[in-house]
Amino acid sequence: MSKKNKVDFYWDNKSGICRCTITVNNDKYLGFAYVHPTDVDMMNEKTGNEIAYHRALLNLLKDQKKKLNLELKGLNGLYYSMKHSPHFNVKSYEAKMLYRQIKYHNQDIEAIDDLMEEIGTWLKDYINKKDHFYQQLRKRREQGKACQSSGK
């Protein structure tokens, strides 16, 4: 990544809070991960980084979508203004470029929506799998302690 684009992580081991900052062209997008009170025994920096990074990425995508929607609104406004002119030529280079830009913006917005949904689903699945893994690990630890205390 260039100097303008970077990803930084901050992990506080005492509180179990992780912060990810994604910087793109001097715009900063933050994502946070907080250890659940029942998972304090399992907290680790890598899991926090992963969750915080994906949340920051979602914030970046939301901002990009917002910018594209504003641009699309301007392009649509221009199109509707032009189409009411008696001099408007549907087959002109300008009209074709305007149609193309509107189409591209709509496709980009749709792609961002799909990506945001995919990341959100992945994040929920990741957290659920981690929770399931932690529960299994705790269960095995308890079984191991029970075996040791009974002398087996």
In this predicted structure, what is the pLDDT of residue 99?
95
- Tokens 């907290």 appear where? 43
CA-to-CA dists, residue 26 to 22, 38, 55, angstroms: 9, 37, 18
Low-confidence ranges of the chain (pLDDT < 50): 1
Model pLDDT, residue 1: 46
pLDDT reported for residue 152: 53
What pLDDT does residue 151 have? Answer: 61
Q: Per this entry, what is the length of the chain?
A: 152
C-alpha–C-alpha distance, residues 132 and 92, integer Å: 60
The pLDDT value recorded for residue 120 is 96
User: What backbone torsions phi and psi does residue 113 show, to the nearest 5 degrees?
Assistant: -60, -45
Tell me the CB-side half-sphere exposure of residue 104, using CA atoms within 13 A. 8
Walk me through the domains of the chain, giving residue ranges and CATH numbers: 6-136 (3.30.160.240)
What is the pLDDT at residue 40? Answer: 86
Judged on CB neighbours under 10 Å (0-12, 13-18, 19+), 61 is middle
Query: Which residue shows structure tokens 């009974």?
Result: 150
pLDDT of the residue at 2: 53
Q: How many CA atoms lie within 13 A of 20 on its CB side?
A: 24
